[in-house]
Amino acid sequence: MDFNSNNKIVVSCSPGLNIALTHELEKLGFEIVKSDPKAVIISGTFNDAMKLNYKLRCANRVLWHIASFRAIHPNHLYKNARKIPWEEILNVDGYFSIDSFIKNKFIRDTRFGNLKLKDAIADRFMEKMDKRPDTGSSKDQAVVFMFWMNEDVELFIDTSGQSIAKHGYRKNPGEAPLMENLAAAIIQESNWDVKSHFVNPMCGSGTLAIEAALIAIGNFPGKFRTNYSFQHLKSYNSADWKKIKNEIESEKETNTLDFKIIASDISRKAVSTARENAKYAGVDHLIDFQVCEFEETLIPAGKGVVVFNPEYGERMGEIAQLEKSYKLIGDFLKQKCNGYFGYIFTGNLELAKKVGLRTKRRLPFYNGKIECRLLEYELY
């Protein structure tokens, strides 16, 4: 198995985040082979896959391709999978689990497909080494991923294991928080230039402001994570991984900012949660916190972005009250945020109409199963 040459890497993401992920991968210097709503395909070395696990903010998992073949029966899967030199990939004294996406007429229960693949790997080990690794459902160690669509099987090493969508600094989620990968994607798709002010009224647990601060100083989510699936592969060398991490950290530019990041909320508890999360993320000194009505949020003179994620009636808040809030947000953007780009991230387009400002862009997103929009307003 050649881990040094360029190979197919599939980076999976939450539905609809592929556009932000595509832009993120392009910024990191990758050429995009294909992008669909749940995944972006690129080409890279195994070292690239490890670095992506550390750096990516908008992704879920990084999959490293190991084999492709045709199968029209579970026994074909078994036969072909058994030919793969698993003893060169997985540790015989280790542990692995199987994950999959299967859509075809040969397998009705995904678990049966997974079992067939697990048997092929275990039997290959027994044949070659008279011993086999343990298996189970935990994704804390090595993970093999199978994508079996109609007659085509693709096998991957899931180099992440547990999803990298959670960035690991949020010890207290507060109420109705944004997922960290979604917050990062919202910022990535906004017009924020990472040189001007970033204002986040209604900050809740602070996810947007914290992600903005992490982006501003070049701190990656990997800083908060100690375990990836690739660390349980036979080829893993901890000294190499340490060197890669040190190289990434040495590229970091700054720990201070010459613009403001402001997070405010009417709820004292929310602001205290946001401050606590920011402290854990190591960026509390970079964010000005305020407990106030959103209309009283300090808007520094100059340029920047103001990003709102108000309640939208699905999980919290009453619609009539929210209609008033959305109108007041529109008034605030118009009257107080001159020179800024305003953003509202919402899952309720009826409420968005109450803002009363003309949108410049309307970017589609999903928050879980809820279809959302990031609405952009240019404020002159």
Ligand X SMILES: C[S@@+](CC[C@H](N)C(=O)[O-])C[C@H]1O[C@@H](n2cnc3c(N)ncnc32)[C@H](O)[C@@H]1O
| List of residues contacting ligand X (CB under 6 A) | 174, 176-178, 201-202, 204-205, 207-208, 265-267, 270, 293-294, 309-311
Q: Considering the complex, state which of residue 62 and residue 270 has its C-beta at the smaller distance from ligand X.
A: 270
Residue 163 vs 290, nearer CB to ligand X: 290
Q: Which residue is nearest to ligand X (CB)?
A: 204
Token output for 348: 């309720």
Distance in Å, CB of 174 to ligand X, minimum: 5
User: DSSP label at 205?
Assistant: T
In the complex, least distance from residue 89 CB atom to ligand X, rounded to whole angstroms: 38
Q: 132 with 179: CB under 8 angstroms? A: no
Give the closest residue to 290 by CA, choosing from 263, 311, 272. Answer: 263
Q: How far apart are CA 108 and CA 111, in angstroms?
A: 9
Residue number, 129 or 316, with CB nearest to ligand X: 316
Please calculate the CA angle 240-244-245 and round it to the nearest 5 degrees. Answer: 115
Residue 156 CA: distances (Å) to CA of 17, 142, 153, 239? 21, 11, 10, 24
Closest distance to ligand X from the beta carbon of 113 (Å): 37
Least Å distance, CB 151 to ligand X, is 43
Q: Cβ closer to ligand X: 161 or 310?
A: 310
Q: What does each C-alpha distance from 95 to 60, 63, 108, 137, 192 come to in angstroms?
A: 22, 18, 26, 10, 44
Cβ closest to ligand X, residue 53 vs residue 309: 309
Nearer to ligand X, 84 or 202 (CB): 202
Rounded (10°) angle between helices 74-82 and 110-129: 30
Report the candidate in 153, 155, 89 with the shortest Cα–Cα distance to residue 124.
89
Smallest distance, ligand X to C-beta of residue 6, A = 37
Smallest distance from the beta carbon of 264 to ligand X, in angstroms? Answer: 7
Shortest distance in whole angstroms from residue 194 CB to ligand X: 19
Residue of 48, 58, 62 lying closest to 10 (CA atoms): 62
Q: Which is nearer to ligand X, 44 or 174 (CB)?
A: 174
